[in-house]
Structure 1
Amino acid sequence: MEVWEARLSDHYQKIRVAHASGVAIVTIDNPPVNVLDAALMTDLRRFLTGAREDHETKVIIFESASPDFFIAHVDMRLIDDPHAFDEIARDVPPGLNVFQALGELVRGLPQVTIVKLAGVARGGGAEFIAACDMAFAAIGRAGLGQIEALMGIVPSGGAMQYLSTRMSRGRILEVILGGGLFTAEEAAAYGWINRALPAAELDNFVDALARHIAALPAGVAPAAKRVLPPDDLSAGFVREQSEWSRLFAEPAAELLIRGGLARGAQTVDGEKRLEEILREIPL
């Protein structure tokens, strides 16, 4: 039986980290719905930065403590606290915003990163998944969506850049402009995730895959990642931030975001019908 351990350096507020046999499991735990706020962002960045130098860990699995939500989306309350990420932004490379930089930290890891998706991920949560190497989702429970258009903006955490390596242009535009929630099966058919699995099989499948990869001879997995053609997304990130900033300054964005919060966004019940809530807000 594997013994999972938490290292003394692994003290976080919004995530839990366990290690065993070359695999790290990162459990996101930011109730009630795991919004991507400054505290969660700080923990994820600290873990990802340290992971680069962790030569014992070969595979990283990301999962959620919530059965319903992976990362709901970026904290919508930022509309009233626009400086919440200022401290984090000081450490972000030029040409990236804090959300793009988070995705690039994930994408640049030498370890293989795998998402175990048992609940819903929208917005920044879906972007985080797209930045990871692999993702597997539970049929009947998981969902993926980019809801930014329903807030009067476009994604600003790399969504269209990352999805451009996985989907056709038409499918990306359907995802972004349709604003719908995709089931595990639909996401797999579009190439958003690797595959959809029965919920009862998800844990065993992902855990076995992670163990198999971690047991490969030293250097094989990082070499495979290096051999894949690198994607230079820098120009796209700049365009993305420019368009997001322009749209966020429009009155519609504030109306939709505040309206969503007033109608239950970021509560458990509200998040279960978030697309419906946002579509009902009169402009």
Structure 2
Amino acid sequence: MTANKSNKLLHLTIENGVANITLDNAPVNALCGSLIKALKQLLGELSYNKDVKVIVFDSANPDFFIAHVDINILEEQGILEELAKAAPEGLNIFQAVGEMLREQPQVTIVKLKGIARGGGAEFVAAADMCFAAAEKGKLAQCEALMGIIPGGGATQYLSSRMTRSRALEIILGAGLFDAATAERYGWINRALPDNEIDLFVNQLAQRIAALPEGVMAAVKKVLAPAKNVEGFKAENDGWATLAFTPRTAEIMKKVMANGAQTVAGELRLEELLRNIV
């Protein structure tokens, strides 16, 4: 079975039981409300497709997988209200993105060739697996530099993948981690040379898709991700306490004025934020 489907934010191809979703929200793949809505709709459709066993996510942008949540996301008020109404009880709209991924019946794999920060890094951690290009694959939870804490599941996902001390380093240090370090910490599965990652991920996805019927579903059921309702609530409460303060608004305004959400600015975002702070 082969299929193709595209809109202005997502491109879908399906072949031999593997769906490939390419994110394409220029200039830096910011996680805006429209992109969240498009992902929700597409993943919902795929959840009913019994022929699809694996979903691979990549990016049309060679520098960014998902830069972070769109700093201007509050301008999409109608979409945010729609997403909030549809979010599972006890989850904010950003946590709902990660949980949507974790509850997807197919195996989800991120092929990380560029930068994933903030909500983008949370997306990576929510997927079943992630393989990153050693040369350009990078991850960061840089929210602390914006005067907030992660609010899309990072505190829960990181604490299940690594030691508490490493999660604290990632969140409070707010640095950009290379793929090799992320692999060593348990943040991703493997760091692979850029010229090998496509073949490796494609072969892995095809092998999973070709397994006898029922095997993949049974394994996902047996190895279901833990969900700490209290942990998600505590994360949201901590994020909400900081997210709407005048100080945070000032930081967001200044970082936008200094190049955030442009390619040049996002390549050195941590430096921009530290200069502001």
TM-score range, shorter chain: over 0.9
Q: In structure 1, what is the Cα distance between the partners aligned to 2:239 and 2:263?
A: 27
Deviations 1:90-122 (A, max 9, x none): 111111111111111110011111000000000
- The residue number in structure 1 matching 2:49 is 54
- Of the structure 1 ranges 265-274 and 251-260, higher mean CA displacement relative to structure 2 is found in 251-260
Aligned residues: 277
* SS in structure 2 of the partner of residue 116 of structure 1: strand
* SS in structure 2 of the partner of residue 165 of structure 1: helix
The one-letter amino acid paired with 1:133 is D
Alpha-carbon distance change, 230 to 117 in structure 1, aligned in 2, over 3 angstroms: closer
Contact 1:5 / 1:19 at 8 angstroms: preserved in 2? yes
Is the counterpart of residue 12 in structure 1 residue 10 in structure 2? no
Q: In structure 1, what is the Cα distance between the partners aligned to 2:155 and 2:15?
A: 34
- The residue number in structure 1 matching 2:89 is 94
Q: In structure 1, what is the Cα distance between the partners aligned to 2:29 and 2:8?
A: 12
Q: CA deviation at 1:229?
A: 5.2
Alpha-carbon distance change, 140 to 57 in structure 1, aligned in 2, over 3 angstroms: same
- Of the structure 1 ranges 100-109 and 70-79, higher mean CA displacement relative to structure 2 is found in 70-79
Q: CA deviation at 1:4?
A: 4.5
- The residue number in structure 2 matching 1:224 is 219
Partner residue of 1:65 out of 52, 60, 63: 60
Runs of 5+ consecutive residues of structure 1 not aligned to the other structure: none
* SS in structure 2 of the partner of residue 54 of structure 1: coil
The one-letter amino acid paired with 1:65 is A
Residue pairs, 1:114-153, within 5 angstroms: 114-153=109-148
Alignment RMSD = 1.4
Query: What fraction of aligned residue pairs are identical, expressed as a percent?
Result: 51
Is the counterpart of residue 29 in structure 1 residue 27 in structure 2? no
Q: CA deviation at 1:81?
A: 5.5
Runs of 5+ consecutive residues of structure 2 not aligned to the other structure: none
Is the counterpart of residue 252 in structure 1 residue 250 in structure 2? no
Contact 2:56 / 2:108 at 8 angstroms: preserved in 1? yes
Q: In structure 2, what is the Cα distance between the partners aligned to 1:40 and 1:83?
A: 14
- Of the structure 1 ranges 55-64 and 252-261, higher mean CA displacement relative to structure 2 is found in 252-261
Contact 1:63 / 1:115 at 8 angstroms: preserved in 2? yes
- Of the structure 1 ranges 224-233 and 79-88, higher mean CA displacement relative to structure 2 is found in 79-88
Deviations 1:141-169 (A, max 9, x none): 11000010000000110001111110100
Alpha-carbon distance change, 276 to 82 in structure 1, aligned in 2, over 3 angstroms: farther
Q: Which has the higher helix share?
A: 2
